[in-house]
Amino acid sequence: MIIDTHAHLDYPDFAADFEEVLARAQTAGVERIVTIGTSLESSRKAVALAEKYPNIFAVIGVHPTSAEEVEPEVIASLRELAKNSRVVGIGETGLDYHRLPGLDTSRPVSVHLFTDPRFLGHDIEDAEYKGKQAALFRAQLDLAAELGLNVVIHQRDAWDDTLAILKNYTGRLRGVFHCFGNNLEQAQEVIGLGHMVSFTGIVTFKNAPIVHEVATRVGAEHFMVETDCPYLAPVPFRGKRCEPAHTRLVAEKIAALRGTTLDEIAAQTTKNAHAFFRFDRR
């Protein structure tokens, strides 16, 4: 068995051929899929899919880039959703500073950046945006700790702040840093705190030596495999729609990097996913 631990099956990319997507996953040996919420509505759809299909489980949460649009009652709504036995985690949650609002790259930037009136006050605007993300992140971590669930973490260009917040929850919950693209030292840092990392189709890219090194050297009990579909399709499907069946290609590449077999990687990552998500917890 192979488990795709991070998919977005509620996305419209799969609406036209959903049953065929599931059938291809089964043929590829991907027998279980965790579909991840990115908003309250997305989380509701994830739960609905998990209720309908026995091989799908749901993780519910709000993505950090939606922090400015969340409703005041979002945590209460997530708490209610989490009563469903098909919910196996909280997320994806975390911090994302890749596109800060104060320096909107869609606007032409003056060479006199800090005197251009369009950008005056951008530090304040960015600080407010980061603060909203942090508050949402902490609220979801609090909910996960309250419910005894682990968390799926999204981190982009916000490493130090993510770790600073997460360290306050050491021993209360575990997280998986999905789509891990940081270096080996950083991987060891999160593993040292009791967390995990997860690899996507990026591991099959020739121009991803940092990910190759981490996938080769990290302890076998500390990582899982995923697609993040419909994004990040592995070679030879790079640039096309990704789907859960491609988890097999991710596992095959990791096996090749580590000098072992697909069966060994499949067995270990499946064991890791069961321990992390506790699919039979209820």
What CATH number corresponds to the domain at position 260? 3.20.20.140
Look at the chain and report how many structural domains it folds into.
1
| Residue 282, domain member (yes or no) | no
Residue 232 has pLDDT above 80, yes or no: yes
Give residue 198's pLDDT: 98
Instruction: Report which of 251, 187, 259, 243 is spatially closest to residue 225, judged by C-alpha positions.
Output: 251
Give residue 280's pLDDT: 85
Give residue 100's pLDDT: 85
How far is the C-alpha of 107 from the C-alpha of 110, rounded, in Å? 9
Neighbouring residues of 202: CB distance < 8 A, sequence distance ≥ 6: 179, 181, 208, 211, 232
- Positive or negative torsion for Cα 104, 110, 114, 119: negative
| Residue 23, domain member (yes or no) | yes
- Phi first, then psi: give them for residue 279, nearest 5 degrees: -60, -30
Query: Amino acid identity, residue 94?
Result: G
End-to-end CA distance of the chain: 22
Tell me: the pLDDT tens digits for 91-111? 999 999 998 887 555 555 444
Give residue 105's pLDDT: 52
Residue 159 has pLDDT above 50, yes or no: yes
Q: CA of 56: how far to CAs of 50, 51, 85, 208, in Å?
A: 5, 8, 12, 30
| Residue 86, domain member (yes or no) | yes
Q: CA of 276: how far to CAs of 69, 140, 164, 213, in Å?
A: 30, 17, 22, 23
Please give the residue that has the higher pLDDT: either 113 or 233.
Answer: 233
Question: Exposed, middle or buried, 259 (CB in 10 Å: 0-12/13-18/19+)?
Answer: exposed
| Residue 164 structural domain | 2-277
Instruction: Report which of 74, 80, 37 is spatially closest to residue 56, judged by C-alpha positions.
Output: 37
Looking at every residue in the chain, the average pLDDT score rounds to 93
Q: What 3-state DSSP class applies to 204?
A: helix
Q: Give the tokens for residue 42.
A: 């997305």
Residue 64 has pLDDT above 60, yes or no: yes
Q: How confident is the model at residue 147 (pLDDT cuts 50, 70, 90)?
A: very high
How far is the C-alpha of 184 from the C-alpha of 216, rounded, in Å? 10
Residue 124 has pLDDT above 80, yes or no: no
- Asked if 244 and 227 touch (Cβ cutoff 8 Å), the reply is yes
Give residue 109's pLDDT: 47
How far is the C-alpha of 176 from the C-alpha of 161, rounded, in Å? 16
| Residue 195, domain member (yes or no) | yes
Give residue 116's pLDDT: 52
- Give the rounded percent of residues in the chain with a pLDDT score beyond 90: 87
Q: Please report which helix (H) or strand (E) contains residue 152, including its range.
A: strand 151-156
Give residue 43's pLDDT: 98
Residue 42 has pLDDT above 80, yes or no: yes
Q: How confident is the model at residue 254 (pLDDT cuts 50, 70, 90)?
A: very high
Neighbouring residues of 238: CB distance < 8 A, sequence distance ≥ 6: 201, 204, 205
pTM score, two decimals? Answer: 0.92
Q: How confident is the model at residue 68 (pLDDT cuts 50, 70, 90)?
A: confident
Q: Hunting for tokens 């908003």 — which residue is that?
A: 39
Q: How confident is the model at residue 112 (pLDDT cuts 50, 70, 90)?
A: very low
Average pLDDT over residues 1-21: 98
Give residue 121's pLDDT: 54
Residue 89 has pLDDT above 70, yes or no: yes
Q: How confident is the model at residue 282 (pLDDT cuts 50, 70, 90)?
A: low
